[in-house]
Structure 1
Amino acid sequence: MASPARRARDLLSRGGPLGGLVLLCAVMAVLSPSFLTVTNFFNVGTQIAVILILALGQTFVIVSGGIDLSVGSVLALAGVVFGWATAVAGLPLVPALLLGLGAGAAAGLVNGLLITLGNLPPFIATLAMLSAARGLALVISGGVPLSPIPEPVRELGSGDLFGVVPLPVVLMLAMWLLTAAILRHTYPGRCMYAIGGNEEAARLSGIGVGRQKILIYTLSGLFAGVAGILQTARLASAQPQAGFTFELDAIAAVVIGGASLTGGVGTASGTLIGALILGVLRNGLNLLNVSAFWQQVVIGAVIALAVMTDTLRRRRK
């Protein structure tokens, strides 16, 4: 008889990330009676909302064969710019929101320009932005949280749609649908797969690779801006230290969801499932009173297992 580890590995290999999510939910349901409740499911959705939005932007980048290490810092910068616009400059809500989202998109645009015009590797360019964006967030805020945050934005972080569905979950699902539409039904989405599959072939086929990369990293920055506004809403203040190491969780969600770090493979649904796996795992371990330190060990093992499973599946094909 096959061992439990072997059976789990076979399920992951056949069913991919969705099989892993189903298996994980089944295990958690057995171990914790509190897991299979509507309230707990909404809690998981609320907890992963910010990470999933970051991961969806990261999906564009990874599908195209790149990497964006700056999204956690860009999240903080966008939130601080929005908080400064409302709490310090006293701007109305809509211009403040546009400034926050614009800060995120501008950071992504700079990443794209550094990579295309500056010929920097994505790892180096986004690592530089990781430091620069965090520094700008600290400069603008003076190193302290900015408040108060307008009531409509605070409501986004803690309110419910029809008194049932948390608004962070609604925003998360809207961004997921937008990502799926971009990847499946738009020219830039098709270009992302082409560039990630073979950049030189994409260039020879007439795709403006440089322009598309600038767009891809700008989109990643814009999604980080949305996540920054949502994080500010949840915390009810704009904090310059928000989003620390979130880029690692975002990349993990994309990879666990079946995307390949070499590019050309990845979907919005896979990223959603990857984020859910991380969220369910953390939620279940919390319900079981597992130490946060051991949680990091378990999550690291899951990431390694996901990558190994993907590698084995590709070899079989």
Structure 2
Amino acid sequence: MKEKLKKIDLSNASALIVLIVLCIGLTIAEPAFGSVANLINILQQVTVIAVLALGVNVVIFTGGIDISVGSVVAFTGIVMGKLIVENGMPDIVGVIAAVLVGAACGTFNGIMISKFKLQPMIATLAMMSMARGAAYTLADGQTITGYSAGFRWIGIANIPGTAIPVQIVFMVLLYIVFYYVMKYRKFGRYIYSIGGNEEATRLSGINVDKYKTLAYTVSGLCAGIASVILVAKLNSAQSVAGLDYEMDAIASCVIGGTSLLGGFGSVWGTFVGSIIMIVIRNGLNLLNVSSNLQKLVIGVVILLAVLADSIRNKAAAKK
């Protein structure tokens, strides 16, 4: 256990060093990057991806994967918009519905994987298609706008007397809760154990199917929460929302030190990984890099992160 904790600490430190070097390099290349306004802008941009990555991280801890979260963001956003804007429901009803629908999508993934033994990639690929299709169908080509100021508060308001956005505080609090649960509660211990050795965990008497399903439920729930924040920020729900978000979320986890084989990683490492992803995008924008070239760069970053994970796993296997 001590050796495992040491690895996690080293992974967190490595991600943090990469972030610091990246920030220094971008500040030298474009001084505007280091401005307070831009740094706050980065934190605002990171919120949605960081919350998504938080849920995806739990799934990857079990040795699974969830590529449906981007589509679930779109679907839950449209559901919420239909309830609040088009049907006049109270904001809180729409928010709860979005979170519950997201959790339901995740639970469906979990059941398909744990009970029906579908491969995680296949099950979540199916959900990705279904959720996106449902979003397109419900939206019928329309963008849903016109939310109340009260609803938009979490997406645009600052802490009174400061320049700190409320959404950042909410994100940090969510990370603190997840850190506590994953480190000190049996849910976290079981999730890591499943990823480390699923069969041994099953033989020890732990209900593996239950906890794998819960992991995907958490991922869907986080997608619902991320959708609420995104819609509040943009004042609109769109069926095309969340495109490629799943890749950013997975990359954030891997860059932060989470192993794609499961059983290894940390909550705060994922937070740093999320910031790295957004810092890269922000820096490329400031340097006036074209959107097409940005996709190429992000693709290379994801590839390097996966290669680093593979090398790390091979090195660990030799010990």
Instruction: Please confirm whether the aligned pair reaches a TM-score higher than 0.5, indicating the same fold.
Output: yes
Cα distance, 1:108–1:253 mapped onto 2, change above 3 Å: same
Matches within 5 A, 1:135-174: 135-162=133-160, 163-174=162-173
Query: Which residue number in structure 2 is paired with residue 268 of structure 1?
Result: 267
Distance 2:220 2:34 in 1: 35
The answer to whether the Cα contact below 8 Å between 1:13 and 1:313 also exists between their aligned partners in 2 is no
The 5-angstrom pairing of residues 65-104 of structure 1 reads 65-104=63-102
Who is 2:5 aligned against?
none
Q: Offset of 1:182 from its aligned partner?
A: 1.9
Cα shift at 1:14:
10
> CA-atom RMSD, angstroms?
1.7
One-letter code of the match for 1:304? L
Distance in 1 between residues matched to 2:306 and 2:140, nearest whole Å? 41
Amino acid at match of 1:184: K
Q: Which whole-Å CA distance do the structure 1 matches of 2:176 and 2:155 have between them?
A: 20
Structure 2 distance, partners of 1:17, 1:311, is 16
- Identity %, equivalent residues: 44
How far is 1:96 from its partner?
1.7
Distance 2:238 2:38 in 1: 27
* Aligned counterparts of 2:186 and 2:13: Cα–Cα separation in 1: 30
Q: AA paired with 2:108?
A: V
Q: Residue 30 of structure 2 corresponds to which residue in structure 1?
A: 32
Native 8 Å contact 2:77 2:227 kept in 1:
yes
* Aligned CA distance change for structure 1 residues 14 and 185 (closer, same or farther; 3 Å): closer
Structure 2 length-normalised TM: 0.91
Matched to 2:298, the amino acid is I
Aligned residue identity for 2:276: I
Using the TM superposition, give the Cα deviation of residue 303 of structure 1 relative to its aligned residue in structure 2, in angstroms. Answer: 2.4
- Matched to 2:98, the amino acid is G
- Judge conservation of contact 1:55–1:251 (CA < 8 Å) in 2: yes
Q: Structure 2: which 5+ residue stretches go unaligned?
A: 1-9
Number of the residue aligned with 1:23 = 21
Give the deviation of 1:305 after TM superposition: 2.5
1:9 equivalent in structure 2:
none
Q: Contact 1:13/1:309 (CA < 8 Å) preserved in 2?
A: no
Q: Summarize the Cα distance change of 1:84–1:13 in structure 2 as closer, same or farther, 3 Å threshold.
A: closer
- 2:7 corresponds in structure 1 to none
| Residue 232 of structure 2 corresponds to residue 233 of structure 1 | yes
Paired position in structure 1 for 2:120: 122
Determine the structure 1 residue equivalent to 2:220: 221
Deviations 1:81-130 (A, max 9, x none): 11111112211122221111111011111111111222111111111110
The corresponding residue for 2:56 is: 58
Map of 1:252 onto structure 2? 251
Residue 175 of structure 1 corresponds to 174
- Consecutive unaligned residues in structure 1, runs of 5 or more: 1-11
SS of the residue aligned with 1:165?
coil
Residue 304 of structure 1 pairs with residue 306 of structure 2: no
**Helix, strand or coil at the partner of 1:34:** helix
Q: CA deviation at 1:314?
A: 4.5
Cα distance in 2 for residues equivalent to 1:299 and 1:283: 12
Please tell me whether the aligned partners of residues 72 and 245 of structure 1 are also in contact (alpha carbons under 8 angstroms).
yes
Shift of residue 174, structure 1, vs aligned partner: 1.9
Moved over 6 A (4+): none
Cα distance, 1:315–1:13 mapped onto 2, change above 3 Å: farther
Q: How many positions carry a matched residue from both structures?
A: 306
